[in-house]
Structure 1
Amino acid sequence: MKFVTIFCLLICAPSLLFADEVTAKREGKQMVIRSGEKEILRYQAEPGDLPRPEISQKFIRGGYIQSIHTPAGKLVTDDFPADHLHHHGVWSPWTKTEFEGRHPDFWNMGDGTGSVEFVALNDVWQKDGKAGFTARHQFIDLSATPPKVVLLETWEVGVSTTGETHVIDFTSTQSCATPSPLKLPEYHYGGFGFRGNAAWNGPANCEFLSASGLTDRVKLNTSRERWCWVGGKVDGETCGVTILCHPANFRFPQPVRANPDQPFFCFAPQQLGEMEIVPGEKYVARYRLVVADGKPDAKAAETWWQEYAKVR
């Protein structure tokens, strides 16, 4: 019976037997997730050194995904891009806010009114062919005297691979750190953000495909989508990331921000009007990133989303 079982696995699903182990390991100030020797993801925990000497110290930060690679090793993210130094691979600060009568901006760090700080790694795990970690952050109102913690945030990140795709599950849970709510007025970006490879800079170099079939970023901007592929060519080959929005998310399907010039994408529920994160209630945002080489496949993306929608 064991021989028959192993034979069936060899014929029907050889990748299950020979897939490289997915590992998570702390390396200095970063958490690195690999499939065998191939790097998938780097999370910046404590702030690292700025990549260029001309960048102001105001932009130093941790608590974000610094890089993501495809199965073929193509880099699909950017970090500290020259045109938007506050952009990173994957990060999740709020932009236009109101807190106790002040207006800290946790996104545009160069303004010096708000920041998001790494606090701790609570858990690093490997199980059932997956690996991941749990990290804690805090949102700081720098416009207060002294600075004041506004939100407490927990990230849960889990990574798996099929060999043809890398799958990154992302959950952000935010709660108030004080008896005061954080008000989020209507605004066109803020929240879960993705910044693509520098090779995709410029209107002609970054491509999109959404669940509603939109490929024009002007038409895509502000549309409500359950998933969207963002990509372009890296070293002459097309690759990209399909970002899936979980149906349990607030105001699903959430409206999106697609920058007209840069390879930037954001799910922004506050586009639909003011919202609040209030004491005693948790704001939970869940997304799945499917990272792959090659051109986008709408049918495959819809199948990925249908599968993700069943995850509770």
Structure 2
Amino acid sequence: MKRIFSAFLLAIAMTAPAAAVENCCYNMASGSFGVAWIDSIGEIRVFDGQKSVRLNGFYERGDKIAVLDLDGDGRDTLAVISKNKKALYVIDVEKTIETGKTVILSADNGNNIKGFCTAPAGTAHEPKGSVIVSTYSGSSYMWNKDYDGKGWPAIPGDFSQVSSGMLKAKMPAQFAVVTHGDVYTYNPAWMVYSQKLMGRNVNSTICGNFAPLTKEDEIIAAAEDETYIIIGNKSDALGKAVKCMTVGNGPEKDVLIAVDKDGVLCRYDRTEKAWTTLCEGKAGFVSVVTVPNADGTYTIYATSEDGLFSVSTDGKSAKLVDGLSKTRIPLKADGKVVAQFQTGGLFKPYVEKLYTPGGVQVLLDSPFDHIHHHGLMYSMGINDYEFWGEYSDKCAYQVLTKVDSDGSSVKAELNWVTPNGEVLAKETREIAAASENGANVLNWKSVLTPAGDKAVKIWGRYYFGLGMRFAEEMNTNVKFTNSTGAHDGAIVRGDERLKDCQWINAVGTVGGKGVSVTIEEKEGNTRPMTGYSMGDGWNAFAYMGATMRVHENPIMLEPGQSITAAYKVIVKDNQ
């Protein structure tokens, strides 16, 4: 009888509207290692209450993370879904921090994974440390370390997404799922689905840790325009739409902490049945967790693009405890901001924003199609490592050791470091803003020198060097020319072109306003400039750069030798 009921509900799910609901808020977790989150530039950071560390890996903005206890011994690990790889990774956080390299206990990218949730550990019906995953094809699977390499047992049903919430039921283990915006619970022991909330366009659920008023488990569901508490087949609306939520700890388990649609941190009191605003209405938060303290109280941790905040339980104060992920230095000319230098990038510091005199911002930072494209950036390959991409253990880091600014310029010193901590080269970088002939200008100079007593090889792909990713609107309207007066040069791939030239220019529109951006060679370059362009007519994305053709002819630098990249970037309003 239960299987018949299950089939009936699955038929409803399979005929529901096909629009998939993306779970965009599940990018923060807490465990024995502290608080972990994926910040706004796609970096996983772990904060232990005193300091934070970075986890190398395959992540990007919007990835999902959860705490997982593989052995039931209280030694937590992280489960991560990478959108880029469509894969599940189980990471040993302690060993990763200890070794400086990501220690992956298990990985699967053969099932085209889309969503996941962690199963209750140590129940009679589920192995410890299980993960339920969903795939883009609509199937769901159970992962456990005992299953790895032996095939994953399929969970029957057509589900476009597994939710972020688990139910730790009084009865055999259950979990809540979201399919096409509707909520169901699934009991693996009975293989039966139960309808909980229909037609509300739910995007995520969490376990109802509220002080129980009934013997039934509760689900808190965040829908597109409302938040619900579900008990059995009844649901109560709370009067606010949220994009991220968690529950209180200790004596306040009847409190819901959430981030609303405007990015404001807020609190719902079950007893008072009322919402209050926290942090004086500060906006821009994207995720939140609560962490119990030894004295029975708890701390709220919330993230924004500025970093990790510790929030008092009463919500009256918020302290930035890790702002390393976003640190910006404005560069001004004639009293106006020309550019913004980002010193806290994931793999490299870069110019995050660049403005025309009229205030139009022309750059795009870390888009989902290429998360390693950071505004205006400079990068090469050295020996066996590349400093351009951000997707494997062969990708290394540019680490700032010193930066000074006088308001219009920055002078920085950087170490080019491998994933295992070896410094291969040192760089001095100067970026100066100016206003010239109705245009905003950035003068860029980088000098790269071997760090030790061994020669290094400078290499790269055909686009390595100084490159800029343009604002998304320019993907469909950009036009290029160079100092020859044409848009010509050798076609490398698609409409990607290389041309030896003194300058290369891109024109297009951003926000309906015309812009013109030029990269011009300056004296002192180690090699003559080769212009790179992409996007004119191919409708992919708009990109422009200045290269040294190291893909054809790498540069060997002996100790004491250096290469210099010197360019002028000119930005105008184009009527």
Q: Name the CA shift for 1:277/1:114 in 2 (closer, same or farther; >3 Å).
A: farther
* Ranges in structure 2 where 5+ consecutive residues have no aligned partner: 1-325
Cα separation, 1, equivalents of 2:393 and 2:353: 25
Q: Which has the higher helix share?
A: 1
Deviation of the 1:220 alpha carbon? 7.5
Cα separation, 2, equivalents of 1:240 and 1:271: 28
TM-score under structure 2 length normalisation: 0.40
2:360 to 74, 78, 98: 74
CA RMSD of aligned residues (A): 2.4
1:235 to 486, 494, 511: 511
In structure 2, the residue matched to 1:208 is: 480
2:469 to 185, 195, 210: 195
Identity of aligned residues (%): 21
1:257 to 526, 532, 548: 532
Q: Which has the higher strand share?
A: 2
2:391 to 100, 105, 110: 110
- Kindly provide the amino acid, as one letter, of the partner of residue 533 in structure 2: A
Cα separation, 1, equivalents of 2:570 and 2:488: 21
Q: Name the CA shift for 1:271/1:211 in 2 (closer, same or farther; >3 Å).
A: farther
Alignment partner of 1:42 is 2:317: no
2:563 to 273, 278, 283: 283
| Partner secondary structure for residue 391 of structure 2 | helix
Cα separation, 1, equivalents of 2:438 and 2:531: 27
| Partner secondary structure for residue 208 of structure 1 | strand
| Partner secondary structure for residue 434 of structure 2 | strand
Which structure ranks higher in relative contact order (CA pairs < 8 Å, sequence separation ≥ 6)?
1
CA contact (8 A) 1:222 1:271 kept: no
Cα separation, 1, equivalents of 2:340 and 2:375: 10
Q: How does 1:10-89 map to 2 (within 5 A)?
A: 29-35=327-333, 38-47=336-345, 60-89=346-375
Cα separation, 1, equivalents of 2:460 and 2:347: 26
Cα separation, 1, equivalents of 2:335 and 2:547: 35
Deviation of the 1:185 alpha carbon? 4.3
In structure 2, the residue matched to 1:292 is: 572
CA contact (8 A) 1:227 1:243 kept: yes
| Partner secondary structure for residue 76 of structure 1 | coil
Deviation of the 1:71 alpha carbon? 0.6
Higher gyration radius (CA)? 2
Alignment partner of 1:168 is 2:442: yes
Q: Deviations over 1:135-193 (max 9, x none)?
A: 12221122xxx431111111111111147211111100111112222213473121211
| Partner secondary structure for residue 114 of structure 1 | coil
- Kindly provide the amino acid, as one letter, of the partner of residue 134 in structure 1: K
Q: How does 1:263-278 map to 2 (within 5 A)?
A: 263-269=542-548, 270-278=550-558
In structure 2, the residue matched to 1:149 is: 423
CA contact (8 A) 1:186 1:273 kept: no
